[in-house]
Amino acid sequence: MIDKTFPTVWQIFSFKYNTLKHWHALCFTWLGSGCFYWQPFEQVYPNAPPSIEFSSPDQGDVFRIDGIQGGVAWVSVVDIDEDDVMDYLWTINGLGPQGSAQTFVSGNYQGSSIQLPSDPLLDGRTLTCTVYDQAGASDRRSWAIEIGGGS
Amino acid sequence: MRGLIGMMLLAACSQKNATTEVPDGSLGGADLSPTVEQIRIDVYPSSSNGELLKQSWIADLSDGLTGFDIVLEPTIVISGKVVGYRANPLHSEVPGEDRSPVAATIRVERAGTITGGSVDTDADGDFRLEVPASRGYTVSVTPDDGLRLPFQVSVDNNLSSDLNLETVDLGYGLPVYGHIRTLDGDGLHPLTVRLRDQGSGVAGPATQTDSTGHYLLRAEPGSYTLEVAGLQGSAIPSFSIAATVSEDEGLQLDADIGELLPALVSGQLRGEDDNTALRDITVRLESRALRGTLGTLTIETDTDRDGLFGRQILAGEWMATFIPPYDSSFGGREKSFTVETGLAVLDIGDIELPKRIIFDGFLTDPDGAPLANAAVNAQELGLDGYIFSTTTDDEGGFSLETSPGPMTLTASPARNDLAVSRWTIDPTNSGQIFQVEQGDLMSGLVQGPDGPVQFALIEVRSMAGVLLATSLTDEAGNFAVSLGSL
């Protein structure tokens, strides 16, 4: 049995809640925007940055280009944020952004590859791939370029 | 097979085959055949695949598109020492200095594929080259000194294990010499001259004409193309002529290039919106038909800080291509013009480059449902072939900042039942819906000597080298992608 001579916890909470409700109503009516308003809680998902998982060449290795076909470098990227759109920027120091890269998707993976010619102009420079997600978070990988074999 | 290196490779391979396994018939897939419909699968192993090198697999389309069992071959080492004689150029029959180490480039390549590699010799003429085991290799040795040393080519070599060629002797070769002159008989200097082996397409070492327009090369007997080019940026056209070097006899091959009457072509590049001068724009001038002169001419230059350019070219029909940097806010354009014979100066005036535009659209599946997470690549037709890339959002939408000219749009769905699809588009016509079709599934397993090859990049190409689809192998080495109509 509940002793009705003393208020229950719920009754106390309910009293305070009702008081607050009236206070809020007063605020909206008479005080306009100068009063607290508690919005419903909204779950916030922090952005997870993209991460380069695999690449060729490996991080720190030399990107050696020889032969008639030139060379291909590539990265594959994971980002746990669903439907995040990735942008890839391939640059060569001293030569700026490169326009011969393309994006690919394969099942749950996506990435980008670039084909470069066996051009002595590239020898000794650094190739960098930076991947950005929509929130601006990024990951990058760089390789020293070596043009070999009498190019 | 031709030349000393051919005999050496034959001998070395025969010796190897006496004690080691005969090369597997499936090395690198099917035999390359110009008469059979084929497809090329290029595999680029990732960092997780140890020492495996990039290599191509050739497949006959008549065998179907599924169930490929692609075997990546292990890396083998080709080594040896290159020596030569440096014959005295004035007396071809008299040996020059004693046999000595030679600075040279060794190329081992399977024609029409990415399989192979190249390396330069060290100061002692020694070389060590790592390539995948494969068949149908073309092996060439090209000395740096084209004036006194011949180059050698050997085709159709099956290399299945490490091979030490020991001493590769370039021999003397035979002299190929001549005079490159204008219609008036004036020798042209400096020109770059080289021989290209007609059978294999391998280029020999380059040399230059002397101050009187004479050149000298050395070559083994065989059929070649003599390629002559002006130095980069000069108003001297490039041309080629057939050259057959017979046994025991050198070849004299003179060329009359015609009449060279340079004309100065100039212009100025401006932005279409505010008329500002555009600097660092690549200006590529390509002849379509030269008048009174042999061959073709291509000259590249950049605009200066005032957007100005000027180069000497020759009389004829020309196409100028103006190419901004990839990250420019302007698109490129082309302009044709004619330089009349006898004209000394031609100002082609102000050329306005268009602003880049936003091209957006939507991808759907065959039922009209939005296609999320598909790769979208738009490539310029002409100009420098820049590629602009993105992926679709969860509503199938995409947006690209591109040049306003015609482009090829390629959509690669994440779902492998849908085809990699292509359209030729006018990017000024934005907001279109592109419907991807069902495709022909292509699938297979990629394995190396140690088992499945995980997370390797797969590029499916036509035999002409056109990229049809890109994929990755999964944890088990499997890949699957759908192709549109081949």
Same domain, residue pair A31 and A56: no
Report in angstroms the alpha-carbon separations of B429 from B72, B333, B358, B406, B426. 45, 18, 10, 10, 6
Report in angstroms the alpha-carbon separations of A56 from B270, B324, B441. 40, 29, 26
Same domain, residue pair A3 and A40: yes
Same domain, residue pair A117 and A60: yes
Percent of chain B with pLDDT over 90: 64
Nearest Cα residue in chain A from B469: A104
Looking at residue A34, the DSSP 8-state letter turns out to be S
Question: What is the distance between the alpha carbons of residues B334 and B337, in angstroms, rounded to a whole number?
Answer: 10
Instruction: Supply φ then ψ for residue B18, to 5 degrees.
Output: -70, -25
pLDDT tens-digit map of B342-360: 899 999 999 999 999 999 9
Same domain, residue pair A16 and A64: no
CB contacts < 8 A (A, B): 138
What is the SS3 assignment for B47-76?
A: HHHCCCCCEEEEEEHHHCCCCEEEECCCEE
Same domain, residue pair A74 and A13: no
Using a CB–CB cutoff of 8 Å, tell me whether B50 touches chain A. no
Contact B44 A104 (CB under 8 A): no
A8 vs B89 pLDDT, higher one:
A8
Per-residue confidence at B21, pLDDT binned at 50, 70, 90? very low
Same domain, residue pair A66 and A25: no
Same domain, residue pair A38 and A93: no
Question: What is the distance between the alpha carbons of residues A85 and B268, in angstroms, rounded to a whole number?
Answer: 39
Same domain, residue pair A109 and A75: yes
Provide the 10 A C-beta neighbour count for residue B385.
13
ipTM: 0.84
**Chain A residues with CB-CB distance to B414 below 8 A:** 105-108, 110
Instruction: State yes or no: pLDDT of B123 exceeds 60.
Output: yes
* Average pLDDT value for chain A: 80
Q: Provide the CATH number for the domain around residue A99.
A: 2.60.40.10
Buried b (16+ CB within 10 A) or exposed e, B343-361: eeebebeebbbbbbeebeb
pLDDT tens-digit map of A86-115: 899 999 999 999 999 999 988 778 899 999
Per-residue confidence at B22, pLDDT binned at 50, 70, 90? very low
Phi-psi region of B257 (alpha: psi -120 to 50; beta: other; left: phi over 0): alpha
Partner-chain residue, chosen from B45, B109, B387, that has the shortest CB–CB distance to A99: B387
Pairing of strands B457-462, B467-472: antiparallel
Please give the pLDDT value at position B486. Answer: 61
B186 vs A82 pLDDT, higher one:
B186
In Å, how far is B267's CA from the nearest CA of chain A?
24
Please give the pLDDT value at position B31. Answer: 80
Token pair 């069902």: residue: B438
Using a CB–CB cutoff of 8 Å, tell me whether A66 touches chain B. yes
Q: Which of B337, B410, B420 is nearest to B380 (CA)?
A: B410
Three-state secondary-structure class, residue A14? helix
Using a CB–CB cutoff of 8 Å, tell me whether A110 touches chain B. yes
Report in angstroms the alpha-carbon separations of A133 from A76, A97, B36, B375. 14, 18, 44, 14
pLDDT tens-digit map of B157-166: 999 999 999 9
Residue where a domain stops, chosen among A10, A29, A44 = A44
Per-residue confidence at B153, pLDDT binned at 50, 70, 90? very high
Percent of chain A with pLDDT over 90: 38
Please give the pLDDT value at position B3. Answer: 54
Same domain, residue pair A83 and A131: yes
- Omega before B237 cis (within 30°)? no
Token pair 């020798």: residue: B187
Partner-chain residue, chosen from A67, A87, A105, that has the shortest CB–CB distance to B414: A105
Those residues with Cβ within 8 angstroms of residue A79's Cβ, 6 or more apart along the chain or in another chain: A48, A49, A50, A51, A86, A133
Nearest Cα residue in chain B from A92: B326
Question: What is the distance between the alpha carbons of residues A15 and A28, in angstroms, rounded to a whole number?
Answer: 20
pLDDT tens-digit map of A4-35: 455 565 665 555 556 656 656 666 565 555 55
Same domain, residue pair A39 and A66: no
Domain residue limits at A94: 51-147
Using a CB–CB cutoff of 8 Å, tell me whether B140 touches chain A. no
Same domain, residue pair A15 and A89: no
Please give the pLDDT value at position A8. Answer: 63
Please give the pLDDT value at position B287. Answer: 96
pLDDT tens-digit map of B394-442: 899 999 999 999 999 999 998 888 989 999 999 999 999 999 988 888 9
Instruction: State yes or no: pLDDT of B20 exceeds 50.
Output: no
Using a CB cutoff of 8 Å and minimum separation of 24, what contacts does B342-345 make? B342/B261, B342/B315, B343/B263, B343/B315, B344/B263, B344/B264, B345/B263, B345/B264, B345/B266
Instruction: Supply φ then ψ for residue B230, to 5 degrees.
Output: -75, 160
Please give the pLDDT value at position B36. Answer: 83
How many domains would you assign to chain A? 2
Pairing of strands B432-435, B357-364: parallel
Instruction: State yes or no: pLDDT of B447 exceeds 50.
Output: yes
Is A131 within 8 Å of A112 (Cβ atoms)? yes
Q: Which of residues 438-477 of B touch A (CB under 8 A)?
A: 455, 457, 459, 467, 470-472, 474
Question: What is the distance between the alpha carbons of residues B188 and B211, in angstroms, rounded to a whole number?
Answer: 7
B284 vs B66 pLDDT, higher one:
B284
Same domain, residue pair A24 and A82: no
Using a CB–CB cutoff of 8 Å, tell me whether B352 touches chain A. no
Question: What is the distance between the alpha carbons of residues A89 and A130, in angstroms, rounded to a whole number?
Answer: 5
Please give the pLDDT value at position B18. Answer: 37
Question: What is the distance between the alpha carbons of residues B384 and B87, in angstroms, rounded to a whole number?
Answer: 44
Please give the pLDDT value at position A149. Answer: 66
Question: What is the distance between the alpha carbons of residues B320 and B302, in angstroms, rounded to a whole number?
Answer: 12
Please give the pLDDT value at position B1. Answer: 38
Per-residue pLDDT averaged across B101-130, rounded? Answer: 92
B4 vs B373 pLDDT, higher one:
B373
pLDDT tens-digit map of B221-235: 999 999 999 887 788
- Omega before B190 cis (within 30°)? yes
- Concatenate the DSSP letters of all residues of B110-140 into one string: ETTSS-EEEEE--TTSEEEEEEE-EEEEEEE
Provide the 10 A C-beta neighbour count for residue B278.
20
Question: Which range has the worst mean pLDDT, A65-74, B70-79, B187-196?
Answer: A65-74
Pairing of strands B38-44, A101-106: unpaired
